[in-house]
């Protein structure tokens, strides 16, 4: 039986929009709207959805880099959602994040050795010499030459910078790592190198991943389970194979139809979604996806679909399930 | 095969720190290089040359008042028989010390106020910026006069007065920088690691705000030298017995027709120094902006 590392319950993150003379809240960006999922120790949960669906916000709120509006974040059985930033600081050792942007996420005025060493400095781990040694070892582990330690981020390529980002995230031995689209800014030729590195590290260090991606193509190689997100809601969750073989939600099917099929005998119809993602400030009533759904029914407008388990571990929120 | 098989060649030509990049680019800026040369010469003139020179600035040759330049007194003497050359050197010391101190103290204060306001935002930002606005609305001139009366004239006092009334522009500059810098993902990354707010502010963000701060300091040095001259001229600055370039100008004003060179020398020193600081500031600004092709 796998142990649960983290569980998120009805997590909500609304960004208030201030306006008017007295700067009152006039509206909210419902970036994450009652999202629930869990991740077991050592597994990879992929969070997939178009850009703007709230994946980054989910990841950051789960790590308490953003204060949740409501909901619970249960880390190893303990609710951390209400902890203050100071109470969170010691826990940061256990949960790390790797960012999407290889350029913005590294301080341009810091040599990479200092960047990688900083987590050790901050948590006072080891002596000065031990830290220095750890940095060299870590640089080698992620495929960077330790001699480059005094160089600045702008001297490295995008792929190398992501390696620096990985090194910084794992040097303190975290348990949980949020990977926020770690390869989407990289050349295709580099992407697989970073994916291989991440998989290798997961094996070796028994890491647990929340892997965020905007399409399903990479996800298949990476994940144990997949959660599909649309406009602040998770619409479908399933084991990797189950999701790819039996996608239920029309949105999942659309995402899946965009993935190139390696086997030319298997024909898959490409579903092109109509229109744009609606604004999370004023999302559609009922099911958020209904404005772009080819199967939209009257009930979709009136009622938000409930999460229903269609197979063990496979949950879907769609009115098609209850139609009769 | 090396364990770094996946590695691509480094993007840059070799290790170049930000500092050496700035120097390299600054050296391409002709006016700034000339200005830097002039400023270094002036520093040597004021701080090193007097060590090897025979006169004290207070030495008076009463047999040679308003003396023309000769081999003993290279730039002549003033109404009290002081050697102008010596007094230019010692006066420059005070003027430059006032200039540097009056630029560095307010920038330190401005950095602290601006960093907290910009980083934390919200209520703290509001309070700090309203205080800044209040200070900006203080008519500085009457305050100079009042403070000079209360605290007395003196080098330290004038530095304190300049600092007291000079930090606001720096605070606003730094606040603006911090407002945008804190949105950088590396600030978020630092937070994710568990870095404290203070360390994020001063170890991560401040180095990235240094370019405009340094430019501002450079320009302020020139400005402070000018202000010192102005205040001394009005009898509010450094006591007139202490030689500064401003005081030399002041003392020479009634003699402008008898001995115009007594006005011209300190005037030229102030002019050249301030101008050089301004050119250097411009050069630094360009050199520190990597987006600008030089
Ligand atoms: N700090 C913020 N303030 C206001 N709105 C935000 C903020 N961060 C994200 N959003 C909004 O929340 C929504 C979800 O964003 P994000 O989590 O970045 O999505 P994704 O990572 O899936 O692309 C977007 O509409 C975005 O504009
Ligand atoms: Mg994102």
Q: What residue ranges do the domains of chain A occupy?
A: 4-321
Contact, A180 vs A98, CB < 8 A? yes
> Ligand 1, atom 14: nearest CA belongs to which residue?
A54
Q: In this structure, is residue B244 part of a structural domain?
A: yes
Across the range B5-19, mean pLDDT stands at 53
pLDDT score of B146: 82
Give the mean model confidence (pLDDT) for residues A271-276.
78
pLDDT reported for residue B78: 78
Give the pLDDT confidence score for residue B1 in this predicted structure: 37
In a domain, B39, yes or no: no
* ipTM confidence score: 0.88
Residues of the domain holding B172:
59-278
Instruction: State the CATH number of the domain containing residue B161.
Output: 1.10.3720.10
Give the C-alpha separation, A34 to A197, whole Å.
33
pLDDT at A26 over 50: yes
According to the model, what pLDDT value does residue B7 have?
A: 45
Whole-prediction pTM: 0.85
- Judge whether A54 and A219 are in contact, CB under 8 Å: no
How far apart are alpha carbons A60 and B40 in whole angstroms?
51
The Cα–Cα gap between B221 and B43 comes to 13
Cβ contact A254:A271 at 8 Å: yes
The arithmetic mean of pLDDT across residues A229-243, rounded, is 96
Average pLDDT score over residue span B241-263: 82
Say what the pLDDT of residue B265 is. Answer: 87
Q: What is the mean pLDDT of residues A104-122?
A: 94
> What atom of ligand 1 comes closest to residue A58's alpha carbon?
17
Ion ligand 2, residues whose Cβ is below 5 A away: A 56
A175, A264, B157, B246, B253 from B239: Cα distances, Å: 68, 92, 11, 11, 16
Helices (H), chain A: 55-62, 85-88, 112-122, 128-141, 158-170, 188-205, 219-222, 240-245, 250-257, 298-302
Residue pair B212/B127 in contact by the 8 Å Cβ criterion? no
* B35's tokens: 């200005």
- H or E element, residue A314: strand A314-317
Q: Examine residue B229 and state whether it is found in any structural domain, yes or no.
A: yes
Quote the crossing angle between the two packed helices B245-252 and B261-288, to the nearest 10°. 150
- Rounded CA-CA distance A163/A145 in Å is 11
How does pLDDT run across B53-73, given as a tens digit for each residue? 777 777 777 777 777 777 777
Greater confidence, A16 or B11? A16
pLDDT band, residue B15 (cuts 50/70/90) = low
Q: What HEC string does A143-173 produce?
A: CCCHHHHHCCHHHCCHHHHHHHHHHHHHCCC
Tell me, what's the pLDDT at B5? 41
Q: Cβ of A133 under 8 Å from any chain B Cβ?
A: no
pLDDT at A218: 86
Helix B155-166, helix B140-151: angle, nearest 10: 150
pLDDT of residue A263: 65
Q: What's the structural domain count of chain B?
A: 1
Q: Is the pLDDT of residue A270 over 90?
A: no
Tens of pLDDT along A46-81? 999 999 999 999 999 999 999 999 999 999 999 999
User: CB of A101 within 8 Å of any CB in chain B?
Assistant: yes
Least confident of A302-311, B114-123, B137-146, B277-286: B137-146
Q: Has residue B23 been placed in a domain?
A: no
Cβ-Cβ contacts under 8 Å for A139 (sequence gap 6 or more): A112, A113, A116, A145, A146, A148, A149, A167
Query: Residue B185 and residue A101: Cβ atoms within 8 Å?
Result: yes
Instruction: For residues A146 and A142, give the distance between their C-alpha atoms in angstroms, rounded to a whole number.
Output: 10
DSSP labels, B148-186: HHHH-S-HHHHHHHHHHHHSHHHHHHHHHHHHHHTTSHH
Ligand showing the shortest atom-to-Cα distance for residue A215? 1
For a pocket test of ligand 1, which of A17, A26, A29 has the largest count of ligand atoms closer than 8 A to its C-beta? A29
CB A15 within 8 A of CB A28: yes
Strands A24-40 and A4-19: antiparallel
Whether chain B has a CB inside 8 Å of the CB on A142: the answer is no
Return the ∠ at Cα A245 (arms to A241 and A251), rounded to 5°: 105
| Cross-chain Cβ contact B193/A193 below 8 Å | no
Do B193 and A99 lie within an 8 Å CB cutoff? no
CA distance readout (Å), B181 to A112, A140, B121: 19, 31, 13
Contact B191 A60 (CB under 8 A): no
Q: Helix or strand or coil: residue B64?
A: coil
C-beta pairs of B101-104 under 8 Å, 24+ apart in sequence: B101/B159, B101/B162, B101/B163, B102/B158, B102/B159, B102/B162, B102/B163, B102/B166, B102/B220, B102/B221, B102/B224, B102/B227, B102/B228, B103/B217, B103/B218, B103/B220, B103/B221, B103/B223, B103/B224, B104/B217
**Does residue A239 surpass a pLDDT of 70?**
yes
A283 lines ligand 1 (CB under 6 A): no
pLDDT band per the 50, 70, 90 thresholds, residue B11: very low
The model's pLDDT over A170-190, given as tens digits with 9 standing for 90+, comes to: 999 999 999 999 999 999 889
Interface with A, mutate which of B193, B199, B200 (most A CBs under 10 A): B193
Dihedral over Cα of B18, B24, B26, B29: its sign = negative
The answer to whether domain A4-321 has CATH 3.40.50.300 is yes
Distance CA A55, CA A226 (A): 13
């Amino acid at each position: 039986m796998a142990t649960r590392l983290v569980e998120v319950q009805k997590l909500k993150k609304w960004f208030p929009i201030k306006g008017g003379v007295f700067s009152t809240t006039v509206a909210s960006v419902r970036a994450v709207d009652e999202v629930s999922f869990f991740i077991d120790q050592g597994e990879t949960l992929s969070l997939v959805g178009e850009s703007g669906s709230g994946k980054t916000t989910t990841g950051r709120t789960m790590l308490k880099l953003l204060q949740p509006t409501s909901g619970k974040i249960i880390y190893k059985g303990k609710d951390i959602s209400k902890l203050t930033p100071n109470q969170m600081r010691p826990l940061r050792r256990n949960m790390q994040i790797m960012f999407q942007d290889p350029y913005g996420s590294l301080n341009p005025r810091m040599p990479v050795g200092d960047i990688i060493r900083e987590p050790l400095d901050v948590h006072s781990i080891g002596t000065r010499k031990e830290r220095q040694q750890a940095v060299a070892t870590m640089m080698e582990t992620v495929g960077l030459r330790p001699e480059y330690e005094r160089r600045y981020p702008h001297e490295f390529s995008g792929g190398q910078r992501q390696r620096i980002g990985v090194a910084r995230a794992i040097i303190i031995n975290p348990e949980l790592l949020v990977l926020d689209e770690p390869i989407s800014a990289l050349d295709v030729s580099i992407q697989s190198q970073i994916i291989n590195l991440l998989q290798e590290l997961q094996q070796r260090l028994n890491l647990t991943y929340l892997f965020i991606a905007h399409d399903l193509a990479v996800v298949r190689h990476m994940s144990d389970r997949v959660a599909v997100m649309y406009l602040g809601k998770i619409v479908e969750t399933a084991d990797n194979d189950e999701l790819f073989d039996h996608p239920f939600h029309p949105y999942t099917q659309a995402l899946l139809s965009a993935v190139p099929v390696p086997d030319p005998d298997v024909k898959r119809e490409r579903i092109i979604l109509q229109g744009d993602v609606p604004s999370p400030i004023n999302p559609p009533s009922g099911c958020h996806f209904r404005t772009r759904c080819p199967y939209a029914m009257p009930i979709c407008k009136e009622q938000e679909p409930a999460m229903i388990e269609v197979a063990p571990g496979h949950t879907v929120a769609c009115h098609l399930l209850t139609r009769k | 095969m090396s364990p770094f098989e996946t590695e691509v060649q480094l993007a840059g030509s070799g290790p170049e720190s930000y500092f050496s990049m700035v120097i390299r680019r600054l050296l391409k800026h002709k006016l700034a290089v000339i200005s830097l040369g002039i400023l270094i010469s002036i520093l040597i003139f004021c701080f090193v040359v007097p060590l090897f020179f025979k006169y004290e600035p207070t030495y008076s040759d009463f047999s040679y008042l308003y003396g023309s330049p000769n081999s003993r007194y290279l730039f002549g003497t003033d109404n009290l028989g002081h050697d102008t050359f010596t007094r230019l050197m010692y006066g420059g010391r005070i003027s430059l010390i006032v200039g540097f101190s009056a630029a560095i103290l307010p920038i330190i204060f401005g950095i602290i106020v601006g960093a907290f306001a910009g980083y934390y935002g919200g209520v703290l930002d509001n309070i700090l910026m309203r205080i800044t606005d209040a200070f900006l609305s203080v008519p500085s001139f009457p305050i100079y006069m009042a403070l000079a009366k209360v605290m007395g004239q003196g080098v330290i006092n004038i530095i304190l007065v300049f600092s007291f009334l000079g930090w606001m522009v720096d605070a606003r500059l730094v606040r603006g920088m911090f407002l945008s810098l804190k949105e950088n993902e590396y600030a978020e990354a630092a937070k994710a690691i568990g870095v404290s707010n203070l360390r994020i502010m001063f170890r991560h963000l401040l180095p990235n705000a240094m370019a405009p701060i340094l430019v501002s300091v450079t320009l302020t040095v020139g400005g402070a030298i000018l202000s010192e001259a102005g205040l001394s001229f009005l009898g509010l600055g450094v006591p007139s017995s202490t030689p500064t370039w401003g005081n030399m100008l002041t003392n020479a004003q009634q003699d402008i027709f008898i001995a115009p060179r007594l006005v011209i020398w300190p005037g030229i020193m102030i002019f050249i120094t301030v101008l050089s600081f301004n050119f250097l500031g411009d050069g630094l600004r360009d050199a520190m902006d990597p987006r600008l092709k030089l």
